[in-house]
């Protein structure tokens, strides 16, 4: 079955180069009308360029429809205008890929508060701003596909990227709540953790690996996750032709009786509390409380409060 974006309007942020450019080009090839957003700055967020216009020209030369937008994801009013302009021109906004990002890598000891705050503002707050700008339109039309760009740094950590990792795991958390709030409006929200050789990572990869990890290899995952038949609440990793899923997991709760609820009692049970057995991925935060109540009932049986049963 061919995945089509005919009659869909897509916004891709940070689409002037790298991953965003590849997403925009492929969305257009598959029939989407594309807003190519890019502030056009350097990877640390400074400066401007006409990179978005160049991507629009590529799309138009291939017979597609696109417009450029130079707004900053950190400016909510600019993002509102971007969405309003797309809606006025094409009637709606159906797909949003939050891809814009910056790097200011340093060890935490050397990182300035400004470097920390700015990276969070672009990645996390910026993605929230663009999503908020499009959210009501998606609710009204009962259709939306949103992709947040996380990272292995956010999911698993990476030396020298405290700001980036905090922002990226925050985006996975944002996804988990928005997919719940959007469900009844047919809004699906997913998280992608790409590994790609781009301007952002060119000094992190050896030359041969840089070519292997071309951004085009991430496109299949990204576009599936914003397609009509997309899942929701998925976390997917992609790079160099390899794809995997990741989950936020918890094990079965260990319920400690009152006389063991001390620091020493917790320490004595740490092996069980930290065991990687009985793992499952909750669908919402309430399942954490449910797991604790279940553990209590297993220990207390009929003595457990009736409100914990069921």
DSSP state of 227: S
Residues 37 and 174 in one domain: yes
Residues 136 and 265 in one domain: no
Residue with tokens 């925009």: 24
Residues 234 and 284 in one domain: no
Is the distance from CB of 152 to CB of 171 less than 8 angstroms?
no
Q: Are strands 235-239 and 242-246 parallel, antiparallel or unpaired?
A: antiparallel
Q: How far is CA 200 from CA 73, 117, 131, 197, 221, in A?
A: 17, 18, 23, 8, 20
- Neighbour tally for 43: CB within 10 Å: 19
Domain count for the chain, please give it. Answer: 2
Residues 199 and 296 in one domain: no
Is the distance from CB of 298 to CB of 255 less than 8 angstroms?
yes
Q: Is residue 177 part of a domain?
A: yes
- Written as tens digits, the pLDDT of the chain (310 aa) is 999 999 999 999 999 999 999 999 999 999 999 999 999 766 665 554 689 999 999 999 999 999 999 999 999 999 999 999 999 999 999 999 999 999 999 999 999 999 999 999 999 999 999 999 999 999 999 999 999 999 999 999 999 999 999 999 999 999 999 999 999 999 999 999 999 866 656 666 566 676 788 899 999 999 999 999 999 999 999 999 999 999 999 999 999 999 999 999 999 999 999 999 999 999 999 999 999 999 999 988 766 665 443 3
Residues 222 and 304 in one domain: no
Q: Is residue 3 part of a domain?
A: no
Residues 207 and 99 in one domain: yes
Q: Is residue 72 part of a domain?
A: yes
DSSP state of 247: -
- Is the pTM higher than 0.85? The answer reads yes
Range of the domain at 262: 258-308
185 included as an active-site residue: no
Distance separating alpha carbons of residues 11 and 251, to the nearest angstrom: 38
In the set 23, 143, 164, 185, the catalytic residue is 164
Distance separating alpha carbons of residues 101 and 95, to the nearest angstrom: 18
Distance separating alpha carbons of residues 180 and 174, to the nearest angstrom: 10
Residues 88 and 21 in one domain: yes
Is the distance from CB of 127 to CB of 177 less than 8 angstroms?
no
């Amino acid at each position: 079955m061919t995945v089509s974006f005919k009659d869909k309007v897509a916004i891709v942020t940070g689409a002037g180069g790298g991953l965003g450019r590849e997403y925009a080009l492929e969305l257009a090839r598959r029939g989407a009308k594309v807003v190519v957003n890019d502030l056009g700055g350097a990877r640390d967020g400074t400066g401007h360029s006409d990179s978005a216009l160049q991507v629009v020209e590529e799309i138009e030369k291939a017979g597609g429809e696109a417009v450029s937008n130079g707004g900053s994801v950190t400016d909510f009013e600019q993002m509102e205008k971007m969405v309003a302009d797309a809606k006025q021109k094409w009637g709606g906004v159906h797909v949003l890929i939050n891809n814009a990002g910056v790097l200011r890598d340093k060890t935490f000891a050397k990182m300035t508060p400004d470097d920390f705050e700015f990276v969070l503002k672009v990645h996390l707050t910026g993605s929230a701003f663009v999503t908020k700008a499009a959210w009501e339109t998606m609710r009204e039309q009962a259709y939306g596909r949103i992709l947040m760009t996380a990272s292995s740094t956010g999911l698993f950590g990476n030396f020298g990227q405290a700001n980036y990792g905090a922002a990226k795991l925050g985006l996975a958390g944002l996804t988990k709540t928005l997919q719940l709030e959007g469900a009844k409006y047919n809004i699906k929200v997913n998280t992608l953790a790409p590994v790609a050789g781009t301007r952002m990572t060119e000094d992190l990869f050896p030359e041969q690996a840089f070519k292997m990890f071309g951004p085009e290899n991430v496109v299949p995952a990204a576009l599936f996750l914003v397609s009509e038949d997309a899942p929701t609440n998925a976390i997917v990793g992609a790079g160099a032709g390899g794809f995997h899923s990741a989950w936020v997991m918890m094990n079965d709760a260990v319920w400690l009786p009152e006389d063991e609820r001390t620091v020493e009692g917790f320490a004595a049970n740490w092996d069980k509390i930290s065991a990687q057995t009985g793992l499952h991925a909750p669908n919402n935060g309430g399942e954490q409380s449910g797991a604790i109540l279940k553990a209590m009932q297993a220990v207390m049986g009929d003595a457990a409060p009736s409100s914990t049963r069921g």
